A and B are shown apart, each in its own frame.
Chain A
Amino acid sequence: MFAYYLQLGLRSLRKNPLLTLLMVLAIGCGVAASMTTYSVFRATSNNPIPQKSSQLYAPQIDNWGPDVSKDNKGEPPNAMTYTDVINLMRDKRAKRQTALYPTAMSIVPADASMLPFRETSYGWYADAFGMFDVPFLYGHGWSASEDDSHAAVAVIGKALNEKLFNGRNSVGQNVNLNGRDYRVVGVADKWNPEPVFYDVINTNGFDDPIQVFIPFTRAVELQTPTNGNNNCSHDPGKGWDSWIHSECVWVGFWAELPTKSEADAYHQYLNGYSAEQQRSGRFRWAPNTRLRNVTEWLEYQKVVPQEAKVSLLVSLGFLLICLVNTVGLLLAKFMRRSSEIGVRRALGATRQEIYIQFLIEAAAIGLAGGVLGLLLTGVGVMGVSLVFEPDIAKLATLDVSLVLLTMLVAILATVLAAFYPTWRAAQVQPAWQLKSN
C-alpha cells in the first residue's frame, strides 16, 4: 500500500502545483536556514575527544591573587606559569600529565630545491600522545626518558611527512627545525580535533592540523619562545630565565584522571599545592584552584561563538514559522478532499489507512522540501563567511551526515506538521460527506 499511497500523494501534489510549490518553498527555506546555522554550531560545539572528554582535565591555579582575579569573577588565570607546571610534572599525581605550549618552527627541508617554511609546533611531554589518543601512521611518540634528557626528537604530522619525505616512513630520518636536526620518532596520522581542546587559549578553538611536536623540555632548554599568549600581572624583567621564573602565565597543562575519585583527589592536591605556595610566601592568598574536564573547559572558554547559538535559535524559530504555515496549507489541501475521504471511507478505508495515506503525501512534500533545502543549505554554507569569522566559517561543510540530516529534518518536520491536518482528514464522517453531495 505504501507505493499506492505515494502514487496518490504525488498525483495530488501535481494537481495543485502552486500550493505544492508554496509548501515545498516553506519547508525548503526553513530547513536550509536551520541546517546552515546548525553546520556552524555542530562544528563549534563538537566534542573533540568523546571517549576521554570526562577523563582529561585542565587545572588552574590562581598565582595572581584576588586583586587580579576579581576582574575575572574570581577565576584563576587560563594558563599556568612555568614554575607551576614544572612542579606539577615533578609530582606526577595524575595517571598521565603534560605541559604544553605552541612555538613557531622554521623548517629547512633536506631537498635543496625546497624553500624553508614555518610551521606552528607544540612542545609537550611524552604522555600527551597517549592522553590525547594521537593516531600514528609510523612509529610512536618519544619516551619519558627522552623528555628527561631533552632529546632532539620529533613527531611530525602526515602532511609534513608528505611534504618532506613524499609520504614514506620517515622514522629515524632527521628533520631540521630552527636550524637543528631532530630525529623523527613517529609520524602522526591526520589528527585535528575540533575544537582544538588542548589549546583553546591560543587557537580560539580552531586551527589547521599541527605538524610538529617536540619535547617540552627541549623547547625550553633551547629557549624557544611561545607563539601563543603570554600574560603577566607584573613586569617579568629581562631575559629568558627571569621570564620563565616569573608569574607570567603561558603554559597549558592537562592531567588524565580516569575516575571521579581521582579527579577529586587531584583537585585536593592542587589546593594543597597552592597552600604550600602560600606557606612559602609566593602566594599571599588562600588557594583558588579549578579543575575542569574537556567539556567543562570548552564551555568555560566559550568556544561556541555566541552568534552561532543565536543564529541557530533564530533559524529554528524561522523553521517553526515555516512549519506553522505548512500546517495551514496542508489543512486547506486535505480538507478540500473531504468528499474523496468520505468515498474512500465508504469503500472500506479505515481511519488509520486515511491517516497513513495523507502522512505519506506529507512526507513526499517533505522530501521535495528536503531536496530544495539541501540546495539552499549548500548555498548557505558557502555564505557562512559573510556572518562568521573565516576560521569558524571554514568549519561549516555540507558533508554526508548534514545531507542526511537535512533530508531527515525536512521529512520529519513535514510529517510532524501534517499530524493535525491528517488527523482532521481521518475524522471526516463519510455519511455526512456523502449526504451533502
Chain B
Amino acid sequence: MLKMTHLSKVYRTEVVETYALRDFNINVNEGEFVAVTGPSGSGKTTFLTIAGLLETFTGGQYHLDGVEVSNLNDNERSRIRNEKIGFIFQAFNLIPDLNVFDNVEVPLRYRGMKAPERKQRIMDALERVGLASRAKHYPAELSGGQQQRVAIARALAGSPRLLLADEPTGNLDTQMARGVMELLEEIHREGATIVMVTHDPELAARAQRNVHIIDGQVVDLAEDPRFHHAVHSARANSPA
C-alpha cells in the first residue's frame, strides 16, 4: 500500500541543510495498522505529511498503492489525497465556520459527488462515529472527543484506502482517547490500512506493528531496549 525507499527530506536555508528524513525505508501492507513512534523532532510528522502527499520529498522513491508519486503534479496529488487518503489530525482541524455536516462534506465536494450520495455518505459516517444527532452543530459546540470523531467521520466519508492519523488522541483526555482508539481499531478491522503517529506507547502497543523513527530514520525496535520495554509494559497493561 505504502512503500518508501531510500527517501530523504532536506530543508535548506542559505546557510544550513537539515535532514528531516534520511535514507528512510518503510513498507506498509494493505490492511495493516502501523504505529509510528519516536521522540519529538525525529521526523514522524514529516513522514506522515509526505505519506499523505501534503509535502514533496528530496530524494528516493515513494510508491502509494503501486503509483510512484514523485512526478505527480498538484492536481494529481490532490486527486489521490481526495480519493485514497483520509487524514486525522491531533488538532482535529475542523473548519469552524462549517457545521458538522458541512465539515464532513468537504472532501466529497472536491470529488464532485452528487448531493444525494454525499448526504448518504455523510450520515453513514456520522452514524458510525455516533454523532448523527449533532450534524447541525458547529465544532465550537462539541467536546474535544466529539470533534475528533467528526474528523474521523470526515476521513471515513470518502472511503479512503489509507488512513493517516497524527497523534489522534494527543489533545484528548484518557477516556476520550480510549473511545477514539477503539473507533480506529474498529475501522481497521473493517479492512482499512492505518498509519498512526503517536508518542503514546500504550496506543502504539494496540497497533499491529510499530515503526520507530529516530533522527529521520527507521530504527529496529530491538536496538532500542527502552522503547521495547515500554511497548512490552503497555501491551501487558492493555485492557484488550
Chain A residues within 8 Å of B, Cβ to Cβ? 1, 4, 11-12, 15, 339-340, 342-353, 429-431, 434-435, 437
Contact = CB atoms under 8 A, between A and B. Distances in A.
A434 B93 contact: yes
A333 to B, nearest CB: 13
Interface stretch (B81-89, B120-128, B215-223): B81-89
B97 interface: yes
The list of the 7 closest CB pairs from A to B, nearest first, reads A348-B82, A437-B91, A431-B55, A348-B110, A431-B49, A431-B54, A347-B107
B109 A430 contact: no
Q: Would you call the interface of chain A mostly helix, strand, loop, or mixed?
A: helix
Interface stretch (B21-29, B72-80, B183-191): B72-80
A430 B54 contact: yes
A405 B45 CA distance: 52
B78 A434 contact: no
Contact of B93 (A4, A11, A352, A437): A437
21 contacts: A1-B112, A342-B93, A343-B93, A344-B95, A344-B106, A345-B54, A347-B106, A348-B82, A348-B111, A350-B79, A350-B110, A352-B75, A429-B54, A429-B55, A431-B49, A434-B91, A434-B93, A435-B49, A437-B89, A437-B90, A437-B91
B52 interface: yes
A429 B53 CA distance: 11
B55 A348 contact: no
Contacts of B54: 345-346, 429-431, 434
Contacts of B83: 348
Given A348-B78, A348-B81, A429-B55, A353 B110 contact: yes
Contacts of B95: 340, 343-344
A297 B90 CA distance: 75
A343 B106 contact: yes
A168 B93 CA distance: 77
Given A11-B97, A340-B97, 18 more contacts: A343-B93, A343-B94, A345-B54, A346-B93, A347-B87, A347-B107, A347-B110, A347-B154, A348-B107, A348-B110, A350-B79, A352-B75, A353-B78, A353-B110, A429-B54, A429-B55, A430-B49, A431-B49
A4 B87 contact: no
B111 A351 contact: no
B66 to A, nearest CB: 20
Contacts of A15: 97
Contacts of A435: 45, 49
Interface in B168-202: none
A346 B81 contact: yes
A350 B55 contact: no
A264 B94 CA distance: 76
Contact of A434 (B75, B82, B89): B89
A202 to B, nearest CB: 65
Nearest to A343: B93
A4 B102 CA distance: 11
Given A345-B54, A435-B45, A350 B106 contact: no
A1 B109 CA distance: 8
Residue from B78, B81, B112 with most neighbouring chain A CB atoms (10 Å): B78
Contacts of A429: 54-55
Contacts of A340: 95, 97
A347 B82 contact: yes
Nearest to B84: A348
B45 to A, nearest CB: 6
A429 B55 CA distance: 8
Contacts of A437: 89-91, 93
Nearest to A339: B93
Contacts of A339: 93
A4 B108 CA distance: 12
Nearest to A353: B110
Given A339-B93, A434-B93, A349 B110 contact: yes
Interface in B12-51: 45, 49
Contacts of B75: 350, 352
A345 B89 contact: no
A245 to B, nearest CB: 84
Nearest to B56: A431
Nearest to B94: A343
A347 B79 CA distance: 9
A350 B78 contact: yes
Nearest to A7: B102
A83 to B, nearest CB: 79
A4 B109 contact: yes
A334 to B, nearest CB: 14
A352 B94 CA distance: 22
Contacts of B45: 435
Contacts of B110: 344, 347-350, 353
- Of A339, A348, A353, A435, which is in contact with the most chain B CB atoms at under 10 Å from its CB? A348
Contacts of A344: 95, 106, 110
A350 B82 CA distance: 10
A430 B50 CA distance: 11
Contacts of B91: 434, 437
Nearest to A4: B109
Contact of A345 (B78, B79, B90, B97): B78
B21 to A, nearest CB: 13
A350 B74 contact: yes
A60 to B, nearest CB: 65
B52 A12 contact: no
Residue of B83, B107, B158 with most chain A CB atoms under a 10 A cut-off = B107
Contacts of B154: 347
Nearest to A15: B97
